[in-house]
Structure 1
Amino acid sequence: MGKLKALLRSRWFWRALGAILLGLLIWFLGPLVSIGDFRPFEWWPAALFFALLPPLVVAGAWLWSRRRAQRRNAAMIEALKPGSPADHDEIAAKLVEALDMLKSARLGSERAYVYQLPWYAIIGPSGAGKTTALLNSGLDFPTAVAGEYRALRGQPNTPNCDWWFTDEAVLIDTAGRYVTQDIDAAADAEGWRSFLELLKRHRPLQPLNGIIVAIPAPDFANKTAMAAHAGNIRARLAEIRETLGQDLPVYVLITKADLLSGFREYFARSTDAESDQVFGATAPGTNPDSDSVLRGFDALVTSVSSRLVDRMQSEPQLPLRAQMAGFPGQLASLRAPLATLLAALAVRSRFDEPARVRGVYLASGTQTGNPVDRILLGAGLPALASAQAVGQGRSFFLKRFFSDLVIPEQGMAGRNPAAERRTRQRYIAGVAAAGVALTLAIGLWIWGYSRNMALIHSIYATASAYSEATGGAAAGTSVEQDLAALGVLGKATHDMTEAGDFGLGLGQGGRLGRELRGVYGRDLQRRLTPILVGLAEERLAANGTAPAALYDDLKSYLILGGRGPTLDEHVLAWVQSAWTARGGPGAESEAGELARHTAALFDGNFKPVAIDDARIETARAILRTQPPAVRVYGRLKTRAIEKGEPMWTARDNAGPRPELFFDGGGAFAPGAGVPALFTRAGYERTFLPIAASGPKLLEEENWVVGDTGVARLSAAELGALRQDLERLYFAEFLSRWQTYVASLKPRPVTSLADNVQRLRDGSGPLSPIAPLLRAIAKATDLTPGKNVPKPQASAVLPQSGVLGAAAKTAAGAAGAAFAGGGDPRRSIVDAFVPLRIFVGTAAAGGAPSNAPVDALMTTMGQLADKLNVIAVLPGGGGATGSQQSLEAKALILQLDQSANAMPPPAGLWAKAVASDASVALGGARLAQMSGAINASFGEQCLQLLSHAFPVRPAAAAELPLDVFARFFAPQGQFARFVNDDLAGYVDTSTESWQAKPNATEVGLTEANVRALQAANLVTRIFFGGDPHSARLSYQVEPVALAGAPSVTLRIDGQTLTFDGKSPIPVTFEWPGPGGASVEFATTGTAPEVRSWPGQWAAFRLMKAAAVKSGASPAIGEGSLTQAGARFDFRVRTFGGTNPFVLDPFVKIACPSATTGQQSALRRSASPLVQTG
């Protein structure tokens, strides 16, 4: 009956029962379920699977749960084992044996593992009688050792912690010093912490189910001891709550109650049933407070008092009655210290929660020692001796305390929230996973069913499309119809193969696919083979003059006719190339489709077809006219290509970033490369083995060409055949490499900065140049091992310098490899030995150190640095820019000239780089000069000077003096332009300025230089005395006067009068107030006057006088006329040049920003010359 009750209380029983009922429901009612026309459980295997799934899932979960409980139980027991017991310690050995038994033991009516039982910890001060209480608890201890109940002691890290395993609970008797921690505080605290960590580690969800606090009754008479107990117990309970994360019920057990005066006498005549019951006060509810516990205790005292009379009447001995009469008072005296204890445990703070005290209980294990009269002690009187002070009696109020109170309330213990949350998450995840699995299975069945229906519909669609493609015509009626029909079947077969046979047993793709492949195979035989035979016959007729192509055509024709081995790969390649060669719209796509059908034909049951013997003999006769070596070489290449070796490509051998330097087209285009056959590896691994079997190839081709008499070839003929094969191979080897190498080109550049970047990429650590050149040299190096004469490298290599020395060394090494001569590899070695010398792999050992290619990259790096300096120079860079430009040109010239001695393709790359750098340098310098002109004064000069007098003689507007000084002063804009921007391009050290040889790179011409020197002449004339202000002193000397009695000359407020008789020179200063005039006196009429306004009036007057050179450069002669009168004079300046004679403004031109190859200095649109 007990087993039946336990079964009905088991959760797993109800889970299993529910799973079985669900399975039966699916099995019997599942076939009735439909989703539209789809019945997922109609097929009995599907219904059986889903019917068995719930019970199997529950069974699996039960097995997993049981196994997990076993593991945890074993881990917990293992943690409690002591170290290896000594051989003489029989008790310790039995302890280990008992623990091993507990690993798999199932205890109690629930048949639970130790791990699954409720666990309780008993704490209290030393001597509280905790062990005695446990020994008298009336619980069953299955691990009795050595004939008595023994506690199972833990490992050394918890040396004084006793574990009592019963069939109903696990009781942990902790050492009293764990509570008080008054002997070795650090060790005791560590032991206590280890004990709690052990519980938490092995029982994470619910480490404990309750705490029993044991305090001996005599301690209640000691206020100091009780205060200490309260503090220590509160601290331990807080540590339990913090470490384990549980809110546990606390049972306060007052032990050694028999030491209360009158206890033994009061309960002496109690029956066993009465002494086994619980004696104490349990507070109502699950979260009682201290007041409710105290009220319960008061009720307990009242109950004891109410029964005192009956107890005393039943006791015949008067002394015992006296002891008995005082027991209610003794019990009541416990209330005050008990209230103090409960108050301490119930304190709530920011850092701690109050203990959940379930109740207060009294118990007595064995009656030993003298009772204590708390009332007499409180009054300071000596206690009376008890009549039963000595001896041993029975236990009171313990047997049902554990079994009827503590253990039944195991569910009141809280769980560790974090562990519970993890468990809940795992449970939810497991349920979700099961749901997902179930949903996925149902979804897969539905999907499989829908796919099957789709496949069936596709079969109907294929039949309809096939009928439409053929139009009801028989096979062979039309090539277009046959291809269309085969395309329909081929696509359907491919789709069916891709669809597979998935659906958890519902898939029908396999059966449908087999049927469809059978139809497709029969149609291939009926429709495709006639197309292939017709194509072969068409090609045989067309290629009568092309034996190389004719061989492949005949070979395919014979294979289709069953006259040779079934070489499907040959036929596939032939079909694609032959059909593509026919041309026409869509030929390439049709060729690919034909190739796919042909592959399917040979994958199936291909049956040879009838072919024309006359065509075969005609083709064979043509093929026999071709030299055997040519035929064999063609087959050799075909066989090598069929091996599928990857092509040698520059992209795979130029390092990680070839696009940094090389153009992405040409040799780097997708699909470009050299077949692997034409490399050293291809020569050794492919060509030599196949070439060695040349006679065998001739013999093998007998079934194609017919009997060629190969068996009658002599040894000399066979040797000649091998030599012919080698000559053909090496000729194509050299041709392919020369063509491919010539297509390797540097990437195009668009600017000077792009040139710099390409040069840096080509010379930097990721440069693809050296890796690519070395890879080419390695792939083309067919040098034999040893003992050969030196090759003729003198024709292609320099004879002096570093490269020449390397050439001689390499030529000697390579020549030694050809001792004896006649080696056909010599042409390849001679062609590529310059490259191997260049990259440093031609010397013994092939060490690439200090190779000429390194010098190339060094030069490129230096040129990149120079061009970069020029690119970032502000404006034209002045003398610095000129010097950097000259150095860059020297490097470009060096690179261009050294390219002549470099082997291809390095020489071609070097020349291309040098040419691009030269062009970019010129364009950059022009652009920089244009920027310098714009930045300095070009446009301002045109706006301010070119339309003002005296730069433009005919202009009415005049040049302000401050603007004049801004442009022509010694530190003016003309001077700064020459000294800063053109310092490296104009030689100003001579009397006549000259353009330097590098002036053309900035567009500077001799005419530009003369214009700039004219500006310098203006500076010297007008600013010789004062570098900040224009000044000019000149003297006018009258020479002659005609047609007037006198003449008056006024310039800038200064006057000269001449009557024709006494010429007195007058000195004038410019600038002045401005204005100039000449006045001729007349008789009886107003004088004739001619005047000029403005600051530049003196210069306008001199231009009107047409001053010409005189006896020296400083003297000029001029004449002014008006109304028939004439005044001749000399004008003299005190400097080297007379500006009135040699007008310095005539040759002045403004610099202008230009582009392309135009001059960077030009004249303005209007001529800046004196016109009259």
Structure 2
Amino acid sequence: MKLPSFFQVLKPTLPKFKLSPAVVLTLCWLAALIWIWVKGETFTLNGFTPFADISHRWLATAVLFIIGIGWLTWKIIARLRVLEKARQEAKQNINSAIQAELDSQNRYLQHWEIKCQRYLETKRYAYVLPWYVMIGDSQSGKSHLLNAIEGLNPLYQPDLEENSTDSVYFSIFNNDHAVIFDIEGALLTQQDANPDKPQLYTKLWRHLFLWIVEKRPRQPLNGVILTLDFAHFLTLNKPERENTVARLHLRLEEIYNLTHSRLPVYVIFTKLDQLAGFTATYENIPQSTRENILGVTFESLKTDEWTKELTQFWSEWCYQLNLASPHKMIESTEEKRASVFSFIRQINGAYDDVAELLQGISTHRGKRFHFIRGVYFLSTEQKGKIDDLFIQSASMQYELGKQTASTWFNRLSQPFFTQKLFEQVLFSEPHLASENALYLKDYHQRLKRFFILAGLGALAIIGGWHYFYYQNYRAGLDVLEQVKTFNHVELTDEQDNYGNLQLPMLNPIGDATFANGSYHDRLPLADMGLYQGNHIGPFVEQTYLRLLQRRFLPAIMNGLLIDLKQAPAESEEKLGLLRIMRMLDDKAGRRDEWVKTFMQKRWSQAFEGQADIQADLMRHLDYALKHTNWYGGRLAGDEELIKAYRPYQLEIEKAQKELNTLSIYQRVYQNLKIRAEEVLPAPLNLREHIGAGFDKVFIAQDEVALFIPQLLTLSGLKQYFLKQDSQLVDLTAMDSWVLNLSENTTYSDADRAEIKQRITELYLNDYTGTWRNAIHNLEIRPFETLADAITATESIMGSEQTIKKALDIVKEHTQTPNIPNTLDEKELEARLATPEYKLRMDISKQFALATSVLNTQDDKASLLQDVYQKLAGLHRYLLAIQNAPDTGKASLKAVQMRVEKKSTDPIFELQQMAKNLPDPLKRWLEQLAGQAWQSILKSALVSLETEWQDKVVKQYDRYLKGRYPFSPQSKQEVPLSEFERFFGPQGTLDNFYQQNLSAFIENGLTQEDEETLDDQTPLIRDDVLTQLDLAKRIQQTFFNAEYGMGAQFMVEPIDLSANKRRSILNLDGQLIDFTHGGKRKVKVVWPNSGNAQVESKITLVPTEANKAPRSLSFIGPWAQIKLLQSAKAYNITPHSFDVRYQVDGGNATYRIYVDEVDNPFSNELFRQFQLPDTLY
């Protein structure tokens, strides 16, 4: 079958692709991610759908990404550590003289590693075969020995022709049983031949074993094979032998220190054939014997218990040789007999040297060290010089000189005692070597940590089981207790409009439902498999939901229905109530947060200070919103739900019909504003954006107008309104559902375009209206003192730049969009045609004039900068008044100068400049100038009031207040001199008025009312003005410019009773004598005498001669006034009035002629006069 083209393309690369753990984990991760979004929604486990909710799928996705990122981070960190280590090593070796040899050795090991992986067909090759190292001198016969082993071959040999600089000092052999590192004698002796490369062999030796430990950290090696040339070893003198032993011991110690492993050491003596007599002794042995092992394997693995076994072996070997020697001597020639005898004697004498060697290399001084596993003798090939140690020793003893040694003649060699040595001994016991001590230490620590963590985990599991068992046990008891409480609750028939009357029933059954938590959200193995909510919850929840649907929700609907009936027709309030009622009814269009927010406000007002009731109601409402569907139950034919809904159905349908009259455009825009409030940030606060100087300069008529909804800002315009596009029409869906419009209502493209245009118009009007209202809402605040005015001026001109910031905010949100100069004609036309540009242009046109004061042209300062110059003059003007020695007098002087128009002041100049500026700057400057003037007036009034109290009020209180004529019943009288000094022309009150008050009163100066912001309130209070008018009338009545203090009037007698024949009226010495029939008008003056004891009286003379006259008299400067006021007045006209005196049973009547204005006898004039202590 022919593969598809896709697979044909990939076919050449498929053999290179291998499923590494990283690839498998990545594929599993991707599969899990795809499965969550493809099958997760419908996945069910024991009736539970953990990924049905999209939020759960997103959470699972987030967990997968966290796991993936964590794994990648771990891999990257590990890789970086490797690279850092390599970088450090390269840095250390960059100037090393032997770096080339190290690199060569490293390349050899890397190539061999690759070959070994292919040979063993696994990347985990390190522990497949046991690893041995073979060490020995250069002529110890290692290579011949390895070549004699069947199947033992090197996997990799470097091509020296192509890589002439690559040289290594070891070879690696392997077969199906083991890997052997054949180390050359140069690394063993480590005698540096090149002074330019010091410690070359030492570092190569160390590098090799470190590589082995890196590749096999647990058990680096399985043994050490030590080869020695037996004949050569026996010929060494004592110093040479000691050096050889010490060198071997040192190398073994280095191996131990590098591998931290106690290894078996196999000592192999080669070239046994170079001892004289070897041929004569072993030439006729059978093939099977020749393949056997000649040596001893020590049974004990202790370092120092090999001596007995070696002695026993050696004795047995010598015994066998001696036992066979008679037969050899009988059958052999004399020469062979001598050879056999010599061989036996050499072997017998070699024991001490071998024992000394083993003792030397196994010495450990009480430390942990390698152990000697065995000693073996063999011959791999027969060639070279044959030496007779027995003869050589005898020659040296008798000083016969060194004897000539014979050599092997060229013949076919065959191995002796070789073949089974590796198969039956070395390769058969690879696990005698101990594991790396450091690795074991780390392993034991990890194992210890594991058991500790496992123990803690076991304790945690046991504790968790105990905890969850107790929790579920207690929850079961709570359910029983709550059910008992519920069963004892009596139903109430009282009208419930908030749902609170249902709490006695809902609380216990709700607590029973929640006792085990929500079983809907619990996994099958929740609470460590002990969760009982799945068994108890459904039964209790059924009762709970029945109560919510049949009692709790209808109770809430009762209250909403009352408010719905009382809400204004076609109002947003009624639509809001209808939304909540429809959402409580139908789950299909329900928005839980809307309902909870609305009911939270409603309950907080109804149950203020009762947080526990509000919390209980919200808990039940939240559960009802999630698990009830009143409308769905009615569709399913639930008669109880249908019956419960009937009281609300008529009013809801009526409200829907009424609210359907609202235009679709207005409805969409209202929904847009509601949605914007949900998703956009908090409104823009003008107070915060203008800064700390706001309260120093401005005052808001309406605090609410300071908050601009984010929808009506530049950010809301660009980031929200313009991005809604077709969603503007989709926003009608909610109200269409609320108002029960057809679910299939659709709009054509033309309808949609019309809706967008109308909504844009509504948005434009709302946008511009809101900002215009926000500007008009800002007024310059009233200044209580001059300091307030100075502070406001400094805030405007200083770093706070209050007015500029206010205008900057308006400009920022209403300015024309910038168009880059780099656009070509088509791009420019496209930009000008965008909805954003058109809308922002319409907005900017309405605010261009207001913000034009910020614009600069051709290096000319902006209008606002010119305003600052005027404000600087105002600041200096106000500061000069405040810093004057007497601020009040300086303020009063400024007021008088301005009233008298003796000079122009900065306030007037600022007002004149403001006339030519656009709003709102014009209005703000006019208000600022007016408030500055008001602060000067107030400062002048404060000083004026102090002077008023010192000069006027104090004199009045001391000489006039509480005395006659101001207090008619008082026995004390006002001295005429004080009366004249206070009320007379150029008197105290007159002078103060002329010098101080006239400028305020006669020029109609007013002040601004702080509550109404009306600047028509007089500076001097009305009651003060009333008293000043009374004082003026007193002056006009009792004073004249020609005679000073005094009053004139005419007195005419009118009538005298019959029992009196004469009346005499004495007014300060001015006598008016009257008898029956003698009427005449007499001109009278007050006061007529400066004598304080002057008397005024009326005397009636009776007709009888024997009766004395009777009188009514008063003494003092005010006696005349008192006498006239004591009579009974009647027949009052504007120019005259009659007074009747009744004395001693008779009466006399007089007519007083006075001016209508200047009536000195009007008691009301003095009684009404009460001088105020304050002026404003």
Query: What TM bracket, shorter-length normalisation?
Result: 0.3 to 0.5
TM-score normalised by L of structure 2: 0.47
Q: Could you say which structure has the larger radius of gyration?
A: 2
